[in-house]
Amino acid sequence: MAIPPQSVTVLGQLAPLDSSTGFQVTPVVGLIAPDVQFSANEDEVADVFEIPLHEALTLSRYYPLDIHRAGHSHRIYLSWYQSQFVWGLTAAIIRRLAQQVSI
């Protein structure tokens, strides 16, 4: 996302999550000023959009889907906001945050 480091106030980090492709990701949680401009790498990010925090942190928005691939099973989560579809590692990270935060 190319967010300038000086534009982020780091609040903490979540426990690491394993991706279905074998990577381990440690999410860092922070506050970003509303006027910060994002520069998405089109090879890595399909779209940039906002979801109100109270919507993103509602656990009932996340639906589990068990995937069986190459002899392995794992669970992914799916969520929607308006016309936007959130799934996979992105949904898992936001869901993990929702589990730890009470709104």
Model pLDDT, residue 90: 92
**What is the distance, to the nearest Å, from the Cα of residue 88 to the centroid of all Cα atoms in its chain?**
8
Residue 51: which residues within 8 A CB-CB, separation 6 or more?
81, 84, 86
Going by pLDDT thresholds of 50, 70 and 90, the confidence category of residue 92 is very high
The C-alpha atoms of residue 101 and residue 56 are separated, in whole angstroms, by 11
Provide the 3-class DSSP secondary structure of residue 63: strand
- The 10s digit of each residue's pLDDT in 11-45 is 999 999 988 788 899 999 999 988 888 778 888 88
Fold adopted by 5-100: Nucleoside Triphosphate Pyrophosphohydrolase (3.90.79)
Domain spans of the chain, in order of start: 5-100
pLDDT one-digit tens code per residue, 49-69: 889 999 999 999 999 999 998
Q: What is the C-alpha to C-alpha distance for residues 57 and 55, in angstroms, rounded to an integer?
A: 5
Find tokens 């639906």 and name the residue.
Answer: 63
| pLDDT band at residue 99 under the 50/70/90 scheme | very high
With cut-offs at 50, 70 and 90, classify the pLDDT of residue 103: low
Residues 75-100, mean pLDDT to the nearest whole number: 93
Report residue 14 as tokens: 């979540």
What is the reported pTM?
0.84
